[in-house]
Amino acid sequence: MMKPVCIQGLGFVGAAMAVALASVRTDEGEPVFDVTGVDLPTAAGRQRIDALNDGRFPFETTDAALRAAATQAATAGNLRATDDPTAFGDADIIVVDVNLDVDRSDDEPRVDFEPLRDAIRAIGENMRPSALVIVETTVPPGTCDKIVIPALQDALGMRGCDRDDFLLAHSYERVMPGTDYLQSITHYWRVYAGLTPAAAAACGAFLEQLIDTKTYPLTRLDTLIASETAKIMENSYRATNIAFIEEWGRFAEAVGIDLFQVIDAIRLRPTHNNIRQPGFGVGGYCLTKDPLLAGIAVRDLIGRHDLAFPFSESAVRTNEAMPLVSLDRLECMLGGDLSGKCVLIMGITYRQDVADTRCSPSEAFALAARQRGAEVVAHDPLVEHWEELEMDVNTELPSAETVDGVVFAVPHGSYRDLDLGEWLNGTRTVVLDSNNVLTSTQRDAVIDAGCTYASIGRGEA
């Protein structure tokens, strides 16, 4: 008999989690989970709900396995979606995948916990007593203790139920949209913790059915706050690693060396094999905000004003400024003035082979370029409309004759197949590779075409 599971929130993580769970099979080929996705009755929520009910993954993806799995699940009948929160009452397991945004409009970053609190209340108002609730949402350390547990207790108490009759666990997602979107859930390491030993055991047993734990074993931590901290710390580490490379990129350009060669040499040392590289900027929903969550936690949840996270917060500021480094470089290549110039951005998503434009560094680049008087056009093989900038996006490469400068911002796989010599075709368009997008053959083709070329992280010898 299939185990009923609800996924709360059908964004980039929740929708993929729902499909992954619906794809789990017994040795006899029978579905293990009966999955219901629950989202809000908004326009975006309805679009995601309708897509999953039609057997379509609700976001553009290059992962053929994920698209096929969504279709298979709908055909098998063990995946459906709704905006009705009473669906939580049918589930033995509820997985929380709702957004938790950081507001940076004031001097100090803030988190509005009310949307999360409302989401948890909706679970508590409808869930079966003793059900397992797993929080996958990235949250400031202490959120489960200070926000989630009281919200569940209050909702259960209002129903006349035992206020503590639930199992709560935290197991943060490590989902990576792209060509291995589905496998980043089913074939990747997981960390988890439970409020009680029973909750931790139940969470571990659930994850073992979803994940290939023989190859990717689970790590159980002692407390919920330890699991919450692990996610924030690992993303802060990555953001800081990226920011660290920025100053070395400027050094490489100044002294005329190829920093990518230097980094490849350093990576041969096992202790340094994850050092990052120069790039266009940091985007997406995680690295742009997660390093700020520790400071929010100690101030607003834990009450330790003597603690601070200057490295993490400085990394966010450094990474936010990265797109402007490329813009300054392009402006210099175009004679020091962008007024009246047409600039083509190649890639507007936050990551290669992903259709997600949230917090994309291309957005910061485009807005600043417009402020300097440039006309901005964009190309991306995965996006037809840039929602944040309310502009249409070329999915076919425009003529090089129509642009003064082109910036390769995102290393989409299709860009490495471009014949740049043929595309440039005698024009004098300046070309800036801001993210190590182009191959050495493509770089040579640009130079052979007589165009001005430069690369972030590479200086002229």
Q: The whole model's pTM is what? A: 0.94
**Would you write out the chain's pLDDT as a tens digit for each of its 461 residues?**
899 999 999 999 999 999 999 999 999 999 999 999 999 999 999 999 999 999 999 998 999 999 999 999 999 999 999 999 999 999 999 999 999 999 988 888 999 999 999 999 999 999 999 999 999 999 999 999 999 999 999 999 999 999 999 999 999 999 999 899 999 999 999 999 999 999 999 999 999 999 999 999 999 999 999 999 999 999 999 999 999 999 999 999 999 999 999 999 999 999 999 999 999 999 988 999 999 999 999 999 999 999 999 999 999 999 999 999 999 999 999 999 999 999 999 999 999 988 899 999 999 999 999 999 999 999 999 999 999 999 999 989 999 999 999 999 999 999 999 999 999 988 999 999 999 999 999 999 999 999 999 999 999 75
Q: Which residue has the tokens 């502009």?
A: 391
Q: Where along the chain do the CATH 3.40.50.720 domains lie?
A: 3-227, 238-455
Give the pLDDT of residue 461.
Answer: 56
* Dist CA 79 CA 71 (whole Å): 10
The 3-class SS string of the chain reads: CCEEEEEECCCCCHHHHHHHHHCCECCCCCECEEEEEECCCCHHHHHHHHHHHCCCCCCCECCHHHHHHHHHHHHHCCEEEECCHHHHHHCCEEEECCCCCEECCCCCCEECCHHHHHHHHHHHCCCCCCCEEEECCCCCCCHHHHHHHHHHHHHHHHCCCCCCCCEEEECCCCCCCCCCCCHHHHCCCEEEEECCHHHHHHHHHHHHHHCCCCCCCEEECCCHHHHHHHHHHHHHHHHHHHHHHHHHHHHHHHHCCEHHHHHHHHHCCHHHCCCCCCCCCCCCCCCCCHHHHHHHHHHHHCCCCCCCCHHHHHHHHHHHHHHHHHHHHHHHHCCCCCCCCEEEEECCCCCCCECCCCCCHHHHHHHHHHHCCCEEEEECCCCCEECCCCEECECCCCCHHHCCEEEECCCCHHHHHCCHHHHHCCCCCEEEECCCCCCHHHHHHHHHCCCCEEECCECCC
Give the pLDDT of residue 137.
Answer: 97
Give the pLDDT of residue 78.
Answer: 97
- Cα dist from 278 to 221, 247, 318, whole Å: 34, 9, 12
Burial 361-393 (b: 16+ CB within 10 A, else e): bbbbbbebbeeeebbbbbbbbbbeebeebeeeb
* Dist CA 417 CA 420 (whole Å): 9
Please state which of the four CATH numbers 2.60.40.1480, 3.30.1330.10, 3.10.450.50, 3.40.50.720 is assigned to the domain occupying 238-455. 3.40.50.720
In CATH, the architecture of 3-227 is 3-Layer(aba) Sandwich (3.40)
Give the pLDDT of residue 228.
Answer: 98
